A and B are shown apart, each in its own frame.
Chain A
Amino acid sequence: MHLKDMDKKPEVAVFCHLFYGHTYSSLVADLKAFYSVCSPRYFFNVSGGANNHSLIGEIRKDFPKAILISTPNIGKDIGGKLALMQVYLTLEMKSDYLLLLHDKVSPQTLNGQKWRNELLQIIKAPYVAGLLELFKKEQAVGIIGATAHISNEYDSKKGAFNSNNDALLKNYINEFALTISEFPFIAGNMFWVRSSVFETFFNKYPPLTIRAFLEKGNVMDTKAGTYTHAMERVFSWIALQQGFIIKGI
């Protein structure tokens, strides 16, 4: 490593998917604080609203250099993040880490606000510097997210996932040739990941091709499995497949 690289701030690509405009303002201060610990590049997706001029205007004012897109509402935040990933790859960008965020309103639960607050701990100033340090020190760590939201639905005795998504998850495992035996994932899909992990995977499996199969609209997996929720789990497994581990904070 070159000496001048020792002090170089890590480059972070922040993917932020927004559907509910009212949640945006609560993220701004935390995201702006990133400049003190890393070199962030912001990517926003205002889903379902190229005409949502007020939100787009606010983002442009707060983050003038941000890359801003607006996708139709497919695959909820997963579809939005895949679209942002495709933009990132097409622009041939490079970074050290990716941060995946979304507005996480969760109308299907009564404790959505609590989940949101827990998941968003990872963008709070006291944690950011620490987790970047953790990435630097522990090369085996591929993903960092909120400990309370690291789930594992796999029942090794049954050889099945305790989830409506069991069949779809097995489809994805075959399709992406995943050979892992443990299946922890960050429920809520907000986490930090080494960029190289996603770059390797999504250069092989184009994000828009995956996105084309995700469901449209307000997708829930409470009654039946969905590709959207299955892909949410796969996002974490991509790192495991490449030999990394998931760490909680």
Chain B
Amino acid sequence: MIYTNIFLVGTGKDLQSFISDNKMTCCIRVSPDELVSQKAVLLETFLQSPNPLGICLDLRNVQAIEETGQNKVVQTLALFTFCVSYLRIRERAVVCFLKNKESNSRVVEWLSKLVIDCLKTQGHEEATIYQVCENRQDIQDSGIPCLLLNISETVMQAEHFEFSKDGNEGPFFFSVNSFSEAGALYEYLMRAERKFAVENSSFYEKMIEVKQLRTERDQLYSENIRLAFEKENNEISLGLLRKDAQFQVDWFKNENEVIKQWYHKEYESLPMWYKRIGHLLKRIWKTNKELKS
């Protein structure tokens, strides 16, 4: 299935059974208060999820969040992003904010900024924030990607693949009231895809190829980060080995010089008569050798 960027958004009640049966990406819809008060249960869900799982923070009708609350929300979100299955697009953690007309747009923007800053301090290169709206008229131009929730089946059929044809990777968000009801939607998506595959076979093959290449790209991207780190470590080790080797070379050179100097010093301090006898003996040995040969 090529629905890589379709996210089902729903509450976490029956999520466990849904994600173990389906290979779709899901986002748990929670209010800021629920996120903090149920963080233990939610963390357990993230830790056990076999499929990518994200958070969709429900900011509908939220007018304000007090400062301590904001910090707790972003810290909890940061912790969830450490889970192996946390939803990432190209190593970037994805966080969605669900809003409507009644949402305070300043809260949404401020929270987006806080989340991005917090994830950066926790080591993420970048975070991807999406605002998701239920109605087209709620979309405001705030500089943060804003997407429409609940695209109808017809629009989905018409738009998703057409968008994909134009290189638009989504994501596309679908809201479900309960994950136990999401089976029908999943079936629908499968049918829509099969239909598209029959009608656009060569294009569909390319889409599968692109999907595989993207997966490989993401893996290589992570591998690259790890190898860069190892390279840096190896350079450090090599530098140390060179330094150590040079130290030994210098030590022996120095030692050689010290021995030479010691020899000269000791020789020079010998009495003259001793040196002359030495020269005389040398000459006698030399003459002896010459006579024998």
Bound pair: A and B? yes
What is the minimal beta-carbon distance from B189 to any residue of chain A, in angstroms? 25
Question: Which residues on the B side are within 8 Å of A73 (C-beta)?
Answer: 123, 229
A107 at the interface (CB under 8 A from B): yes
B230 at the interface (CB under 8 A from A): yes
Q: Are A107 and B226 in contact (CB under 8 A)?
A: no
Q: Which residue of A lies closest to B238 (CB)?
A: A107
Chain A, interface size category, equals: 35 or more
B234 at the interface (CB under 8 A from A): yes
Question: Which residues on the A side are within 8 Å of B76 (C-beta)?
Answer: 90
B190 at the interface (CB under 8 A from A): no
In chain B, positions 34-82 with a C-beta closer than 8 Å to chain A are 39-40, 43-44, 47, 75-76, 78-79, 82
Please tell me which one of the listed residues B123, B223, B225, B240 contacts residue A71 in the complex, with CB atoms under 8 A apart.
B123
Q: Which residue of B lies closest to A67 (CB)?
A: B47
A173 at the interface (CB under 8 A from B): no
Q: Are A206 and B75 in contact (CB under 8 A)?
A: yes
What is the minimal beta-carbon distance from A114 to any residue of chain B, in angstroms? 14
Please tell me which one of the listed residues A72, A74, A109, A209 contacts residue B240 in the complex, with CB atoms under 8 A apart.
A109
What is the minimal beta-carbon distance from A94 to any residue of chain B, in angstroms? 13
Number of A-B contacts (CB under 8 A): 95
Question: Which residues on the A side are within 8 Å of B241 (C-beta)?
Answer: 110
Please tell me which one of the listed residues A87, A90, A91, A107 contacts residue B237 in the complex, with CB atoms under 8 A apart.
A107
Chain B, interface size category, equals: 35 or more
Complex Cα distance, B227 from A52, in Å, reads 12
Question: Which residues on the A side are within 8 Å of B83 (C-beta)?
Answer: 69-70
A110 and B244 contact, Cβ closer than 8 Å, known pairs A83-B82, A91-B43: yes
A211 and B122 contact, Cβ closer than 8 Å, known pairs A50-B84, A51-B218, A91-B43: yes
Complex Cα distance, B240 from A175, in Å, reads 36
Name B's interface SS. Answer: helix
Q: Are B82 and A90 in contact (CB under 8 A)?
A: no
Q: Are B75 and A107 in contact (CB under 8 A)?
A: no
B222 at the interface (CB under 8 A from A): yes
Complex Cα distance, B82 from A68, in Å, reads 9
A32 at the interface (CB under 8 A from B): no
In chain A, positions 73-106 with a C-beta closer than 8 Å to chain B are 73-74, 79, 83, 86-87, 90-92, 105
What is the minimal beta-carbon distance from A44 to any residue of chain B, in angstroms? 10
Complex Cα distance, B44 from A212, in Å, reads 23
What is the minimal beta-carbon distance from B28 to any residue of chain A, in angstroms? 16
Complex Cα distance, B57 from A153, in Å, reads 47
Q: Are B222 and A49 in contact (CB under 8 A)?
A: yes
What is the minimal beta-carbon distance from B278 to any residue of chain A, in angstroms? 47
What is the minimal beta-carbon distance from A221 to any residue of chain B, in angstroms? 13
Q: Are A68 and B84 in contact (CB under 8 A)?
A: yes
Instruction: Supply 4 further A-B pairs (C-beta < 8 A) apart from A52-B222, A73-B123.
Output: A50-B91, A50-B222, A72-B125, A208-B78
Q: A residues engaging B (CB < 8 A)?
A: 19-20, 45-46, 48-53, 56, 67-74, 79, 83, 86-87, 90-92, 105, 107-110, 206, 208-209, 211-213, 216-218, 220
